[in-house]
């Protein structure tokens, strides 16, 4: 049984909070115990992070920091199999996903933001002064200080390093609160931090729950200078309230109810491949996934049939077996939530095209399995069409005109991402511009260039991360005005 400790000031320490169990979602077995941080431990972590700003880390040049970030990427890659196993045991996700997405991106994030800080520039303005002389303004890009990083469980290492890497690149220190469901890779990263020579206190990890526990202790801590959060919209509201105390900036990457739009001129095979992944990859637990599809009437029946075939094509089982293509959902609680929506769809009179229940997975009866599911026939105000479910399921609605598709897609409080499929160039540009989201993919899904702005509109978030946009959040600009 693994014991996951907090990582504070370069050391692994037990916390004063109540320890809790870590489950393997594939079997439901308890495979670890997580030592939760109490308020005093969070104080110690924030204190260590604050002190580290004044230590060697704070005096380091950008090239020195960049060299350490590259060592972190190499350090993760050198222990690739350990990170892979840790992520798989926390999430039950298939090896094929974790080895292609989670761990490589977890490492790559450090290299990407090392590159970014080397080229991040600031403005200068020369001005005339009333005395006939002049002055020169230039901006200094300074770290904000101690950054609280609060993370979800769906892509644990990837989403954590997506924030930790730019925060460190900019010279901040961090206190990470991983999801209580997935403590492993954040903890393992502490070992890599020490091994490559990141000074103590620069990276800290506190484990525990959110409300009334480590998450809240951290986000309400007065010595935290900025909060970056990925998770549910409701939690984002609580974090924003906590950030109001002391006026701390927030970056919020929140929930969604993303629409996919398929026009009848789309390449059907490519569309099914792309949207099949958008609906079902990672057992539907991707914030960018599509839980609502709008398909033009001319290809509606063929599309629905093709998507049902995709839904039925997954293989459940041992995540370490390369033949497994779909894992369980993260927890018994989350499975109950997803299945409650399967019940709601039934009660609302949906036409069930595929799935709709729980599979029998031989040898893994205790796992948190749910079937990939496709429905049609529900009105737009049905709970299944409106609420974020965060499971491997989608509802498909037919439409006739471009205007109608856009009105349907935009009729949601959320605005994270969309995936539009058409071979008509003009329509692609028009639709991408008219849809109210932060990320519009055309003829693709989850194709990521890490220099691009990433984030949500409406209730899906505040701010953008990625490339220079991360630098904007993790630094503060100071204007220096020199009278010449």
Ligand X SMILES: O=C/C=C/C=C(\O)C(=O)O
**Which residues are near ligand X by CB under 6 A?**
154-155, 159, 162, 286-288, 448, 454
Instruction: Give a three-class secondary structure readout of the chain.
Output: CEEECEEECCEEECCCCCCEEEECCCCCCEEEEECCCCHHHHHHHHHHHHHHHCCHHHHCCHHHHHHHHHHHHHHHHHCHHHHHHHHHHHHCCCHHHHHHHHHHHHHHHHHHHHHHHHHCCCCEEEEECCCCCEEEEEEEEEECCEEEEECCCCCHHHHHHHHHHHHHHCCCEEEEECCCCCCHHHHHHHHHHHHHCCCCCCEEECCCCCCCCHHHHHHCCCCCCEEEEECCHHHHHHHHHHHHCCCCCEEEECCCCEEEEECCCCCHHHHHHHHHHHHHHHHHCCCCCEEEEEEEHHHHHHHHHHHHHHHHCCCECCCCCCCCCECCCCCHHHHHHHHHHHHHHHHCCCEEEECCCCCCCCCCCCCCCCCCEEEECCCCCCHHHHCCCCCCEEEEEEECCHHHHHHHHHCCCEECEEEEECCCHHHHHHHHHHCCCCEEEECCCCCCCCCCCECCEECCEECCECHHHHHHHHEEEEEEEEEC
Whole-number minimum distance, CB 303 to ligand X, in Å? 24
Piece in contact with ligand NAD (CB under 6 A), picked from 211-219, 266-274, 405-413, 427-435: 211-219
Q: Which two tokens stand for residue 124?
A: 């200068």
210 touching ligand NAD, by CB under 6 A: yes
Residues in 379-408 at the binding interface with ligand NAD, rule: CB under 6 A:
388, 390
Binding mask 444-483 for ligand NAD (x = CB under 6 A): ------------x---xx----------------------
Rounded to a whole number of angstroms, the minimum distance from the CB of residue 464 to ligand NAD is 11
**465 noted as active-site residue:** no
CB of 230 to ligand X, least distance (A): 7
First to last CA, the chain: 67
Smallest separation (angstroms) from ligand NAD to the CB of 267: 28
The answer to the question of residue 290 lying near ligand NAD (CB under 6 A) is: no
Nearby residues of 97 by Cβ (< 8 Å), 6 or more positions away: 281, 282, 327
Using the minimum distance from each CB to ligand X, give the nearer residue, 35 or 99: 99
Which residue in 38, 47, 255, 367 binds ligand NAD (CB under 6 A)? 255
From 253, 291, 371, 388, the catalytic residue: 253
**Chain residues 110-169 in contact with ligand NAD, contact rule CB under 6 A:** 150-154, 159
The answer to whether 451 and 118 are in contact (CB under 8 A) is no
Q: Choosing among ligand X, ligand NAD, none, which partner's interface includes residue 390 (Cβ < 5 to 8 Å by kind)?
A: ligand NAD
Among residues 238 and 288, whose Cβ is nearest to ligand X? 288
Residue 87 touches ligand NAD, criterion: CB under 6 A: no
Of 243 and 299, the one with the shorter C-beta distance to ligand NAD is 243
Options 66, 147, 243, 254; binder of ligand NAD; rule CB under 6 A: 254
Tell the smallest beta-carbon distance from residue 241 to ligand NAD (Å): 9
**Nearest CB to ligand NAD, comparing residues 291 and 318:** 291
461 binds, among ligand NAD, ligand X, none (CB under 5 to 8 A by kind): ligand NAD
Distance in Å, CB of 232 to ligand NAD, minimum: 3
Position 369 contacts ligand NAD (CB under 6 A): no
Residue 37 in the binding site for ligand NAD (CB under 6 A) = no
The dihedral built from the CA positions of residue 266, 267, 268 and 272, taken in this order, carries a sign that is negative
Choose the one of ligand X, ligand NAD, none that binds residue 375, judging by a C-beta under 5 to 8 angstroms depending on kind. Answer: none
Residue 162 contact, options ligand X, ligand NAD, none, Cβ 5-8 Å cut-off depending on partner type: ligand X
Residue 179 interacts with ligand NAD (CB under 6 A)? yes
CB of 429 to ligand X, least distance (A): 24
Please give the residue whose beta carbon sits closest to ligand NAD in the complex: 210
* Residue 97 binds ligand NAD (CB under 6 A): no
Kindly identify the residues of this chain, within the stretch 212-251, that bind ligand NAD according to CB under 6 A. Answer: 215-216, 219, 230-232, 235, 238-239
- Catalytic residue set: 253
């Amino acid at each position: 049984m693994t014991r996951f400790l907090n990582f504070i000031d370069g050391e692994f320490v037990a916390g004063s909070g109540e320890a809790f169990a870590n489950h393997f979602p594939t079997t439901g077995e308890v495979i670890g115990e997580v030592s939760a941080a109490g308020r005093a431990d969070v104080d110690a972590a924030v204190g260590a992070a604050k002190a580290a700003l004044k230590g060697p880390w704070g005096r380091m040049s950008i090239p020195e920091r960049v060299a350490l970030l590259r060592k972190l990427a190499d350090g993760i890659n050198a222990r690739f199999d350990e990170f892979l196993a840790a992520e798989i045991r926390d999430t039950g996700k298939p090896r094929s996903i974790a080895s292609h997405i989670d761990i490589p991106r977890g490492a790559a994030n450090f290299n990407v933001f090392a590159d970014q800080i080397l080229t991040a520039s600031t403005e200068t303005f020369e001005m005339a002064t009333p005395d006939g002389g002049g002055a020169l303004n230039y901006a200094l890009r300074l770290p904000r200080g101690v950054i609280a990083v609060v993370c979800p469980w769906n892509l644990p290492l990837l989403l954590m390093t997506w924030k930790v890497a730019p925060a460190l690149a900019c010279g901040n220190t961090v206190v990470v609160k991983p999801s209580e469901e997935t403590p492993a890779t954040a903890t393992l990263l502490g070992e890599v931090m020490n091994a490559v020579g990141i000074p103590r206190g620069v990276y800290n990890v506190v484990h525990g729950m959110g409300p009334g526990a480590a998450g809240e202790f951290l986000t309400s801590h007065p010595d935290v200078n900025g909060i970056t959060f990925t998770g549910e919209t409701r939690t984002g509201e609580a974090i924003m309230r906590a950030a109001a105390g002391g006026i701390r900036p927030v970056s919020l990457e929140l929930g969604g109810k993303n629409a996919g739009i398929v026009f009848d001129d789309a390449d059907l095979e490519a569309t099914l491949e792309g949207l099949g992944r958008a609906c079902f990859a990672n057992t539907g637990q991707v914030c960018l996934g599509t839980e609502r599809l709008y398909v033009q009437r001319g290809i509606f029946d063929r599309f629905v049939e093709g998507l049902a075939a995709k839904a039925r094509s997954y293989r459940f089982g041992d995540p370490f077996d390369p033949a497994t293509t779909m894992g369980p959902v993260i927890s018994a609680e989350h499975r109950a939530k997803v299945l409650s929506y399967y019940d709601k769809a039934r009660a609302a009179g949906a036409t069930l095209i595929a799935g709709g229940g729980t599979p029998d997975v031989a040898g893994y009866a205790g796992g948190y399995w749910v079937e990939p599911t496709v429905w049609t026939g529900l009105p737009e105000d049905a709970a299944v069409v409106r609420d974020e479910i965060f499971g491997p399921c989608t509802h498909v609605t037919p439409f006739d005109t471009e205007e109608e598709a856009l009105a349907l897609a935009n009729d949601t409080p959320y605005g994270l991402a969309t995936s539009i499929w058409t071979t008509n160039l003009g329509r692609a540009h028009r639709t991408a511009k008219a849809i109210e989201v932060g990320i519009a993919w055309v003829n693709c899904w989850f194709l990521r260039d890490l220099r691009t702005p990433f984030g949500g509109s409406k209730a899906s978030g505040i701010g953008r991360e990625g490339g220079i946009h991360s630098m904007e959040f993790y630094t503060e600009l100071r204007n220096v005005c020199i009278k010449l």
